[in-house]
Amino acid sequence: MNRVRLKVNMLSQKIIANVSPEFARAYNLPEGHQSVGFFSTDNDDVGYLAVDDATKKADIKVIHAATYYGGSKCAWSKYGGSVFIIFSGPKVADVKSGMAYVKDFIDNQSELFCFDGDDSTAYYAQCIPRTGKYFSEAFGIKEGMAYTYLVGGPIETNYAIDKALKSGDTKIAQYWAPPTHANSSGAILTGTESACRAATSAFIDALQYCTENPLAI
C-alpha cells in the first residue's frame, strides 16, 4: 500500500491586540499577557502539534485547546473545523509570531497520511525530536524530550500502539481511549529520539497490516 499525505488547512485565524479585561478574566490569561490569537484547522491533531511547535519558538502560552464533537464534518460553521485553539502573549508581536509558526507547521510539517489515497484510512504518526512548552505542561513530558504522536481509527490504532511500545524503550505520556470527540484513538509516547522514531515506524507498519487484513486474527 502507498502512503499518501493529506493536506491540512488552517480555516480561520484571528488576533486581538489588546483583549478586554472581562475576556482576560474569562480565559484566566497569565499576568502581563494582553494579546490573544485564535485559530482552527480541519484536523485537530495537526492543530495541537502546530501550537506546541510554536511554543518552542515564540513567547506564547496555550490557554485553551479542544476538539469539536465529531470533528470538522460536524462543525457549527465552515470555519470551525475540527479544533479551537487560543493562545496568548505579552505583546501582539509575540502572538503574530506564534501564529506564523503555527501556519508554517500546518502547511509544511504536518504528517497526516492515508493508505492508497483513501481518506477513510487516515492516521497521524509523527516523531517530534523536542517537545514544546504546551505538551510539556499538558502531558507532563519533560521539556525538550522527544515524543511520537500516534492517532488513527480505534481498533487498528490500539493494535498498532502495542506494536509501537514493543519496538523500543518508550512510555505512554497520554492515551486517548476510544471514542474521542473525533471518534478516534491514540497516544503520545516519549523516550529518546531514536526510540520514538522506531515506535513511529512500527505503528505505521502495524496500521498497514490492520488496513490490509481487517478480519485477520
Percentage of the residues of the chain whose pLDDT score is greater than 90: 90
Cα–Cα distance measured from residue 176 to residue 101, given in angstroms and rounded to the nearest whole number: 26
Cα–Cα distance measured from residue 179 to residue 196, given in angstroms and rounded to the nearest whole number: 25
pLDDT exceeds cutoff 80 at 57: yes
In tens, the pLDDT along 29-53 reads: 999 999 999 999 999 999 999 999 9
Taking Cα atoms as reference points, which of 39, 51, 49, 44 lies closest to residue 12? 39
Rg, the chain, Cα only: 18
Task: From the options 3.30.70.3150, 3.30.450.40, 3.40.605.10, 3.30.70.1710, give the CATH code of 113-212.
Answer: 3.30.70.1710
In tens, the pLDDT along 139-196 reads: 999 988 999 999 999 999 999 999 999 999 999 999 999 999 888 999 999 999 999 9
Q: Evaluate whether 173 touches 141 at the Cβ level (below 8 Å).
A: yes
Give me the pLDDT at residue 86, please.
98
Q: Which sequence spans correspond to the domains of the chain?
A: 8-110, 113-212
Q: Alpha helix locations (H) across 17-143?
A: 21-26, 44-55, 92-108, 133-139
Cα–Cα distance measured from residue 21 to residue 169, given in angstroms and rounded to the nearest whole number: 47
pLDDT exceeds cutoff 80 at 99: yes
Asked: is 8-110 a CATH 3.30.565.10 domain? The reply is: no
CA distances from 183 to 9, 194, 207 (A): 20, 30, 17
Report residue 178: phi and psi, to 5°. Answer: -75, 150
Give me the pLDDT at residue 72, please.
64
Beta-bridged to residue 127, according to DSSP, are 148
In tens, the pLDDT along 64-88 reads: 999 998 776 666 788 889 999 999 9
Within 13 Å and on the Cβ side, how many CA atoms surround 106? Answer: 23
Q: Among 15-29, 73-87, 91-105, where is mean pLDDT lowest?
A: 73-87
Give me the pLDDT at residue 75, please.
67
166 burial (CB, 10 Å; 0-12 / 13-18 / 19+) is exposed
pLDDT exceeds cutoff 70 at 94: yes
Q: Which residue has the higher pLDDT, 68 or 201?
A: 201
- On average, the pLDDT of the chain sits at 95
Same fold, 8-110 and 113-212: yes
